[in-house]
Structure 1
């Protein structure tokens, strides 16, 4: 009789497994229920609960575990029960079941705490685990659950993996309670226990919970070499290779602002030695790096390859849409937004696409509505939050923009971009002290973003700290060069460096920067006008006339170039007639005007007095226009990178966020 029952049990288990393999959950539940009634085995009860979970029957799965008193007896059952509660949105109940503290005695690796003393954690036995468990953990019993055919060592490994998975669930509960610091620590604890808990790593990276410096520290603390202990067979050194492999996979997911060489090495090794050149995640990581370097065409080519292989890979759409925005492909944006909204309305990225399309076509109110919808569907969807904030900035609604960016900064504590945008908005409102504080906070999070360095330089420039400004602009260009960024994307920083040199009376250096901009970026009226002002400073009126004519040929209504040209012609005439003696130096003044040193009395002096009087009147009128444009959300660029300016970057950063910003350029009409 016993032999017959054993045969029947095997038959039912094979049937149940076959049904599970075919995703026939009703069949698996039907057979699993009969098998459990026959065996009353804890393993069969857990299996049946797992089938209910896979079928979406979260309440039944939790009830079954509680009925058989399995939740307090084993980590696997406690994990499944907590997961059921989370799926039902019962986060306080799930946290009560999991406990609020991680089992730190299970941490492996070099550090128990990133700031704590280094130590190695030895493998613990079943008895020692039970004796050391904290209040929130439950002792394991000698049930048959998970022990069939398993050694004690394998059982201990399984126990640690479930404890790590529960740390991940604990982090999800903290995040739902807006306790983001505690959520971050819980995710870190999961990886300290089990470095293979990718779910926790994904939450840390996807939600930008760690700064680049913190990522570096944390990666060094993880026990990648410990993976060798899990490899029972294989060639010598296979364990070390496994650790290196996982480390490289994680390296590709980290911030692209740091260690480009390490990233490139990891990508090359994974593609060359392990055949991952066509893997979507590896290609997406490469596209992320290209986007960070402002190489939008190259990044778009990579994302298009990913979508050709799998157009349902929603993780690639934020970068793909951002590249389309940068390249002004509004027709393609329209088609993608239409398709996603029609076929996948439950996906936040569908409404992100709609919002970006409307933003690209300057329909700001509609864009705000759909960015808001995407953020409500997924509160942790960074691109939607940043896009929502940008809509206020685009309309000059600085107070609302500051509030929206502040929310993004609170949700995504590890990324510097919200702090950069907060600095830009305060700069737009002429709150230079606040702008500098926000930019310094961003600098503390990331020191390798040329956009941030450029904005810090602009703030210093407008605070009459030209030497510091020049240092920031040089650093921005240096970082852009080191990361192989698109040179044309940072012409704004080079223009700003030229203006800083001009303020420092480093005339030749300033002319060198402006000439480099004209070589790389084509003709620009503002750059020609700046060169004309320098030539006037140097008393080279003839050359000033030539370049100012170039400026007015590009933009005939340029008020600064017009006034400077008038003065340059006057100086040329005086020099030709021998009037006024030695030509005075012309220095930059308010609104790009000029202040002329004493050139003698007489008729020439009276002409100068009349010229300066007219200049003062026009400067006052220009200042009034500036004030009206700033208050009205116009496109005057004081280095804020105002939305709608040509070539603005929908910077990722929050996906790792989208932002319509170019490196801000200093405008001579804004100088005080």
Structure 2
């Protein structure tokens, strides 16, 4: 009869018929008074959402102190009730370091944890009924393995408690301890990656330290013992930062797709889309996220990348439809209000966007895209102090990602606080050395500090890394334009012309670029070439005052050559050379720029150098620059006055 009732209880639990499972489990416990049956009844209560009843049952049976599985379940009940202090007191604050799988001295069965449970840990805490027929030695090994996994799960719960108390460093260590004990504790790994608690370098180092060799399959073939370990390692590799090791990522993706048929798996496709987003290949990333949502319209893990790509590609109508549908069907999901906020941000309704980003962040305090979007709304309005506060909060919550530090640097740059901007960007560089956006911003700050050679190195490195990671070249026209202006100020005229020509060839048809070329030709005493390119600038922007003024100067120089037959370099009545004259001209441009910026400061601050709104933090990536901002950004809308000296 006991066996019959246990099978009935398990069948009801498998079918989510919790009332039946509770009814039968209660009768079984009354008959047997067995700790194992008490544990399983508590499991049924937990599955049904009766957390208080489950905890009370475990306490009344005096199971919490005697067995890791019962202690884990009781702590989980407290966490579900938001009693984090009580849960932490029950779990304790020290991790069982003697259980770390990477410890070569540890042997199976060592430590008192494996022998702690004479009751629930022995039979069917999580074990299938068929394990009851194995011999006593296999039971002992299985019980010890099960207890290890519960100890790892308790480390994971410690991390959740610490995170709720804003002790993120302790939370990170608890999650890492969980993986050191049991590398298959994916919940802990997911928290580390999703919340960006580790930098890309730290992720790589931690992955190398994990004992994947402890994973063993159930096959009797010894040649297959290492396959599960390799499989889990590749799955974890797809979830890591896409900045650190794209080759390892591509190898893992190819192997999982080819050998295990995961090419159409949603998580694998999302990882691909995330990589493409970091490469600024927004159309390709969007096509992947659309295919995932066609199969599962409510896969909310996909929406941060999907919405960011829609914003970058200015698909406002699609954003409206998605936001409207999600608000109707899933008002309790943070991604819903992220979508609403991004739509309002894209349509210029900044106050409404801020309200919905704030709502999403309140629903999930660890939702990185909402925090970044919230901060972007202040930056878009030129409220730099509030933006700095919001970005600082994001940097505190997501310590492993460099993007909040990048945005802090950009805000300080907008406030002309170059020293603070440089410090924030250096902090970001210590977290990630392979993001072209960061390197471009560092180059801009160096440019404004008149450290032109260092700025040129940063712009060159940004373009090299963007090329190595197969990024969309159009996304980094701003960085190339910045490099060209740096060469121009360094008097490397041929290099500057080469870079400007590359910008124009790749699609950067901007009047300011032609103006810059015209100024170089004037400096090189080539007025006819200057006249030609300045006419092209006016063809794009007929009212451009800088192009008009430069054209008049070029025509004067050309007339001096044609009428007097003089070399422009010696045609100045004071006997000076043309270079000194153009130096004075640049000084005049700088003075005019300063006056213009003083008049238009409020409007100029409203333009936040082309930043995009929410990408993903942590798991995912946060907002990125659109087509490269900064000195002479690639957007093509800045005046030559800004382009020449910024």
Asked if TM exceeds 0.5, the reply is yes
Which residue does the alignment assign to 1:267? Answer: 253
1:424 matched to 2:410? The reply is yes
1:351 matched to 2:337? The reply is yes
1:443 matched to 2:429? The reply is yes
C-alpha contact 1:495 1:665 (8 A) present in aligned 2 = no
Change (3 A) 1:573 1:258: same
1:91 to 76, 81, 84: 84
1:173-212 equivalences in 2 (<5 Å): 173-212=161-200
C-alpha contact 1:545 1:569 (8 A) present in aligned 2 = yes
Bigger drift between 40-49 and 145-154 goes to 145-154
2:31 to 21, 38, 50: 38
Which residue does the alignment assign to 2:283? Answer: 297
CA shift digits 1:44-93 (9 cap, x unpaired): 10100010000000000000000000000100000000000000000000
Which residue does the alignment assign to 1:546? Answer: 532
Distance 1:248 1:616 in 2: 57
Distance 1:323 1:397 in 2: 26
Which residue does the alignment assign to 2:153? Answer: 165
C-alpha contact 1:490 1:663 (8 A) present in aligned 2 = yes
C-alpha contact 1:549 1:565 (8 A) present in aligned 2 = yes
Partner-residue secondary structure (3-state), 2:573:
coil
Change (3 A) 1:612 1:259: closer
1:97-116 equivalences in 2 (<5 Å): 97-109=90-102
Distance 2:40 2:629 in 1: 59
1:142 matched to 2:107? The reply is no
Distance 1:660 1:356 in 2: 15
C-alpha contact 1:629 1:635 (8 A) present in aligned 2 = no
C-alpha contact 1:212 1:446 (8 A) present in aligned 2 = yes
1:210-229 equivalences in 2 (<5 Å): 210-228=198-216
Which residue does the alignment assign to 2:609? Answer: 641
Shift of residue 346 of structure 1?
A: 0.3
Which residue does the alignment assign to 2:127? Answer: none
Shift of residue 241 of structure 1?
A: 1.0
Distance 1:30 1:199 in 2: 31
Structure 2: stretches of 5+ with no match in the other structure: 125-131, 133-137, 633-639
Shift of residue 600 of structure 1?
A: 1.8
Shift of residue 559 of structure 1?
A: 2.7
Which residue does the alignment assign to 2:568? Answer: 583
C-alpha contact 2:484 2:499 (8 A) present in aligned 1 = yes
Change (3 A) 1:38 1:455: same
Which residue does the alignment assign to 2:573? Answer: 600
Bigger RCO (CA 8 Å, 6+ sep): 2
Shift of residue 659 of structure 1?
A: 4.3
Partner-residue secondary structure (3-state), 1:406:
helix
1:414 matched to 2:386? The reply is no
Structure 1: stretches of 5+ with no match in the other structure: 1-7, 110-118, 586-597
Partner-residue secondary structure (3-state), 2:57:
helix
Shift of residue 146 of structure 1?
A: 2.3
Shift of residue 237 of structure 1?
A: 2.5
Distance 2:451 2:625 in 1: 27
Shift of residue 521 of structure 1?
A: 1.2
Shift of residue 260 of structure 1?
A: 1.1
C-alpha contact 1:299 1:323 (8 A) present in aligned 2 = yes
Partner-residue secondary structure (3-state), 1:152:
helix
Distance 1:516 1:61 in 2: 68
Shift of residue 278 of structure 1?
A: 1.2
1:116-135 equivalences in 2 (<5 Å): 120-125=104-109, 128-130=110-112
Shift of residue 560 of structure 1?
A: 2.3
Distance 2:226 2:589 in 1: 72
1:627 matched to 2:598? The reply is yes
Q: Aligned-residue CA RMSD in angstroms?
A: 2.3
Distance 2:587 2:520 in 1: 20
C-alpha contact 2:609 2:629 (8 A) present in aligned 1 = yes
Tell me how many residue pairs correspond in the alignment.
622
Partner-residue secondary structure (3-state), 1:550:
helix
Which residue does the alignment assign to 1:60? Answer: 53
Distance 1:268 1:634 in 2: 45
Distance 1:615 1:305 in 2: 53
1:484-495 equivalences in 2 (<5 Å): 484-495=470-481
Shift of residue 578 of structure 1?
A: 2.3
Change (3 A) 1:193 1:83: same
Change (3 A) 1:234 1:526: farther
Which residue does the alignment assign to 1:337? Answer: 323
Change (3 A) 1:62 1:375: same
C-alpha contact 2:406 2:428 (8 A) present in aligned 1 = yes
Partner-residue secondary structure (3-state), 2:226:
helix
1:656 to 590, 607, 621: 621
Shift of residue 627 of structure 1?
A: 2.5
Distance 1:335 1:462 in 2: 43
Shift of residue 233 of structure 1?
A: 2.9
1:557 to 518, 524, 543: 543
Which residue does the alignment assign to 2:635? Answer: none
C-alpha contact 1:442 1:452 (8 A) present in aligned 2 = yes
1:669 to 637, 641, 644: 641
Q: So what's the TM-score if we normalise by structure 1?
A: 0.89
1:68-87 equivalences in 2 (<5 Å): 68-87=61-80
Shift of residue 462 of structure 1?
A: 0.8
1:383 to 369, 376, 382: 369
Which residue does the alignment assign to 1:326? Answer: 312
Partner-residue secondary structure (3-state), 1:253:
coil
C-alpha contact 1:323 1:650 (8 A) present in aligned 2 = no
Shift of residue 99 of structure 1?
A: 0.6
Change (3 A) 1:518 1:368: same
Shift of residue 344 of structure 1?
A: 0.3
CA shift digits 1:313-348 (9 cap, x unpaired): 100000111111111111110000000011100000
Distance 1:473 1:613 in 2: 27
Distance 1:613 1:244 in 2: 66
Q: So what's the TM-score if we normalise by structure 2?
A: 0.92
CA shift digits 1:592-640 (9 cap, x unpaired): xxxxxx92249x99xx99x99999887645422213433445456xxx6
Change (3 A) 1:474 1:326: same
C-alpha contact 2:376 2:613 (8 A) present in aligned 1 = no
C-alpha contact 1:42 1:145 (8 A) present in aligned 2 = no
C-alpha contact 1:390 1:659 (8 A) present in aligned 2 = no
Distance 2:600 2:92 in 1: 55
Distance 2:251 2:584 in 1: 64
